[in-house]
A and B are shown apart, each in its own frame.
Chain A
Amino acid sequence: MAKLDVDKDLIRDLAELLEETGLSEIEMEDNGRRLRVARGGTPAPATVSPPPVAAPASESPDDQDPASHPGVVHSPMVGTVYLAAEPGAAPFVTIGDKVSIGQPLVIIEAMKTMNQIPAPIAGTVTRILIADSEPVEFDDPLMVIE
C-alpha cells in the first residue's frame, strides 16, 4: 500500500474553515482518497433517535392502546360512521351509558344503506373512539364497553 501523503496545509485550511463557518465537520473525497476534519469533542451522532411518539389527541393519557382492550367494539364493515340516527338527533350512546347486548351503538353507512352496529356485549360505554361522519375501515376500534 502506498505511503499516505498528508497534506498538512490542506488540513490546516480546513480547520480554519471550520472555525470561520462554525461547522463541526468537513469531509471531502478526491481520486479515491477521503479526508474528514472534525472539531474536537464528542462527534454528533449520525442519526437522531425519534422523539417519543405523542399519544393521539383523542385518547385519555392514562391508558393502554384501546384497540387491545378486551371490551373494544371493532367495526364489522367499511363506511362512514354516525353517532346518531340522523343529523341533529341525540347520539345512540354517550360515555357512561349502560348498554345491553344488541343495543345499537352507531350507524355505519355504506352504499347508501344505513347499518346499525349492535353492542356485542353488555356493559358500560367507557370510551368513544370515533367522531361523527368519520370514515371507518374493517376492524377499526369504535368504542370500549366494560
Chain B
Amino acid sequence: MFEKVLIANRGEIALRIHRACREMGIATVAVHSTADADAMHVRLADQSVCIGPPNAQHSYLNVPAIIAAAEITGADAIHPGYGFLAENANFAEIVEEHGFTFIGPKADHIRLMGDKIAAKRTVRKLGIPTVPGSDGPLERGDDVATLARKIGYPVLIKASAGGGGRGMKVARTPEELDTALAAARSESKSAFGDDTVYLEKYLGNPRHIEVQIMADSHGNVVHLGERDCSLQRRHQKVLEEAPSPALNAADRRKIGDTVRKAIGKLGYLGVGTIEFLFENGEFYFIEMNTRLQVEHPVTEMITDLDIVREQINIAAGTPLSCRQKDITFSGHAIECRINAENPDSFAPTPGRVSDYHAPGGLDVRVDSALYAGYTVPPYYDSLIAKLIVHGRTRNECLMRLRRALEEFVIGGIHTTIPLHLKLVTEPEFIDGLYSIRWLEDWLARPKG
C-alpha cells in the first residue's frame, strides 16, 4: 500500500481524497496554487507544496511542478481527482515514467475514451448500445446530407475531441446542416485544437443515466448501479440521484451486466463511468469518463462503499472489497451541487464566506472545503459544496433534502441553495418526471 499520496487537485475533491488517504493511514501531500494557500485540505494534509500562481495553466495543470512536488516530498502515488489532469493520458504516462503510481486507469484507456469516435466504436464492439450515427469521423467529401437523412433529423454534430457537452451543434432540418457543420468544426478547432466531427441522431427528450464501474487488477469488475443526472444547465449537472426514478430493478440489472461485461473485456483498471442517454426504454452510449466523478457520493450512499478507497486499493494492486453478488442497493440518495453563483443569474460570486453552518443529522453528508472566514477564489470553477442526502425511500430522501437545505448557511456570498430549495418542492421533480431539457425549460419559465 502507498505510504504517501500526492493530491493533484483542489477544493472539495482534494479534501475527499485526503480524507480517504487519512482513513487508510496514508500520508498526504497537498499541492496548491498561491490562491489556495489557505484551503482546507492544504491545512489538513501532512505536507503541502505551493506549485504556482493562481491560474490553473501554471499550477494545477503544470505537470513539471506537480512531478517536482512529488519528487521533493517522496510521494509514491498521485491522485488526479476530477477535471484538471485527471483525463490527460500524457500526464498519466509521465507520472508512471517518473516512478510514481497514477491512481487512475491505464493511459491507453484514457486516450481511447478521450477520442469520442474511437470510444464509440470500441464500446459498440464490446456490446454496449450506441446512438445511431456516422460511425466515424466526417471526412471532407462525405455526403453528409445523405448520411443525415438516413439517420433521420434532427441530427447532432459532435466534436471528436470534445466531451462534457462541449463542441456540439444541432441541425434540425436539412437546411440547417451546412451552417451547423461549419460552426461545429470551427468551434471544435478553437476549443480542442481539432476540427474532427461526427454525426449522431439527436434524441428528443432523453434522460442522462450513467453507470459506475470499478475494475481491479485481479480480473474483478463490478457495477455500482446507475445515477440519473438529467438535471443540467448548459450541460453542467446541477443535481444527481441514485437510483434513477426511471429504471426498475430489471432495467438496472440488464444495463449493469452489459456494462460490466464490456469493461471486463476491455481490460480496464480503476473506476469509471459509462454515460448514456435513455429514451423510450433504450440506452444510448454517449461517453465514458475514465476518472472519479463529482457525483460519486450518491452511489456511495446507496451501496455503502468508499469509491475513493477502492480506487486507491485498485491502484495499489489490492483486490476490490466486494464481488458483484455482494453489492446491494439500499434506499435513495440525492446530491445537490452548490455553487458560488447568483441563484437567478448564475453569475459567479467568489468572495469571503462570513458564516458557515453545514446541515447535519441522520443520513446527511456535506462534501465541502468551506469554512467560516474562507475566501472563495475567483480563478476556479464555482462548485463549493455538495450536499448529499440518503433516505430509505425517494420520498424520505426528498423530505430530508429539503430539511437539510433549510439548515445550510453559507453567508457572505451568493450560492445556489435557493435554487435547490425551489427544485425540491417542484412537483415535476418530486414525481421524477424530468429529462435533460427539463431544468433549462423550468428556469426559463416566467416567474411569479
Residues of A within 8 A of B (CB): 77-80, 110-111, 135-140
Contacts and interface: CB of A to CB of B under 8 A. Distances in A.
Contact of A78 (B34, B68, B98): B68
B162 to A, nearest CB: 31
12 contacts: A77-B65, A77-B68, A78-B51, A78-B72, A79-B68, A80-B71, A80-B72, A110-B67, A111-B98, A138-B34, A138-B52, A139-B50
B267 interface: no
A135 B52 contact: no
Interface of B: 34, 49-53, 59, 64-65, 67-69, 71-73, 98
Contacts of A139: 34, 50, 53
Contacts of B71: 79-80, 110-111
A138 B72 contact: no
B353 to A, nearest CB: 25
A62 B297 CA distance: 54
Contact of A110 (B53, B59, B68, B73): B68
A129 to B, nearest CB: 15
B50 A137 contact: yes
Nearest to A115: B64
A25 B264 CA distance: 68
A105 to B, nearest CB: 18
Contacts of A78: 49-51, 64-65, 68-69, 72
B64 A77 contact: yes
Contacts of B52: 138
A80 B52 CA distance: 15
Nearest to A137: B50
Which of A78, A110, A137 has the most B CB atoms < 10 Å from its CB?
Answer: A78
B268 to A, nearest CB: 29
B72 to A, nearest CB: 4
Q: Which 9 A-B pairs have the closest CB atoms?
A: A110-B68, A135-B72, A78-B68, A137-B50, A79-B68, A138-B50, A78-B65, A138-B52, A137-B49
Nearest to B31: A78
B91 to A, nearest CB: 13
Contacts of B98: 111
B64 A138 contact: no
